[in-house]
Amino acid sequence: MGNRRKPQQEHLVNENIPFSKIFVINSDNTQIGVLSKNDAIAKAKEQKMDLVIISIDNSSDKPKPIGRIMDYGKFKYERKKKQKEVKEKQTFVNNREIRLTLGINVKDIQTKAKKAREFLLDGDRVKVSLKFRGREASRPELGKEVLDKFFKYVEDIAKITKDAQQNERFLDMYLERDKKKSPHLTSSKKEKELQKEEKGRLENAKNED
C-alpha cells in the first residue's frame, strides 16, 4: 500500500503553527501584541480556545503572522453552515422549450403538456412555442386558442410569466412554476409517486367491491 497523505489543514492552528513569534488578537478582538508561539497557545488554552493564524503580512522580508484566539471548532461549524445556506439560495434554472403547431390534436397537446409539467415541477422555465406554417401566421388568434388549451393542462401548478406574443412565424408563451398552487407537489417524481398511490387505492377499492 502506498503512503496516504493526510488532508491538508485549511488553517494553521495551535502546535501546527510554524512561526516562533505571532501578533495575537484576543477572542474579544482586543490586540494583545507580539507573543511567542508557546505563550500565545497557552493564553488560548486558558480560555479553552485555539490559536489560529488568520493572515500573514508578507510586505517585508520576514513574514509577520497574525493569530486570533477563537473556538476553532465553532468557527468551522458556523462557516460550513453559512456556506450551505448560500448554496441553498443559489438556484440553477433550466430553460426548456415545447413546440406546438396550429393543427396539433388533443392527444399530442396532452403528451407535450405532460412533459412541460415535469419541467415545471422540477423548477425549470418553459417556453411554449407554436409555429405557424404558410398563411397561418395571419391568424394569430387561432394559435392563441391552442396555447390556451395547452395551459389548461398545467394551470394547476403553473403561471404565465409572459403572455403569448408573435415573433415572425412563432407565437411564444412563457411559463414558470407557481408554488402557491398545489404546494404538496414538490417535484415531478413526487407527483408520479402520488399518482401511483392513488392508482393503488383505486385498484384495492375495485377488488373489495
- 177 lies in some domain: yes
Cα–Cα distance, 140 to 95 (Å, whole number)? 24
Q: For residue 114, list its beta bridge partners.
A: none
- 25 lies in some domain: yes
The CATH number of the domain holding residue 135 is 3.30.110.10
pTM, rounded to two decimals: 0.55
Domain enclosing residue 112, as ranges: 95-191
Looking at the chain, list the stretches that DSSP marks H as alpha helix, in order from N- to C-terminal side. Answer: 37-46, 72-89, 106-121, 140-152, 188-208
Q: In the prediction, which pLDDT does 9 show?
A: 61
- 201 lies in some domain: no
- 43 lies in some domain: yes
Grid cell of 156 as nine digits: 394547476
Does one domain contain both 49 and 127?
no
Amino acid letter, residue 189 = K
Does one domain contain both 56 and 101?
no
Per-residue pLDDT of the chain (209 residues; tens, 9 = 90+): 445 554 456 789 999 999 999 999 999 999 999 999 999 999 999 999 999 999 988 877 788 899 999 999 999 999 899 888 887 676 667 899 999 999 999 999 999 999 999 999 999 999 999 999 989 989 999 999 999 999 999 999 999 999 999 988 999 999 999 999 999 988 899 898 988 888 888 887 777 76
Q: How many structural domains does the chain have?
A: 2
The number of C-alpha atoms within 13 Å of 148 and in the hemisphere containing its C-beta is: 6
- Please identify which residue in the block is written with the cell numbers 408573435: 166
- 167 lies in some domain: yes
Cα–Cα distance, 71 to 51 (Å, whole number)? 9
- 111 lies in some domain: yes
- 4 lies in some domain: no
Tallying the residues shown for the chain, one arrives at 209
Does one domain contain both 101 and 182?
yes
Does one domain contain both 100 and 50?
no
Number of C-beta neighbours around residue 20 at 10 A: 9
Does one domain contain both 38 and 124?
no
- 8 lies in some domain: no
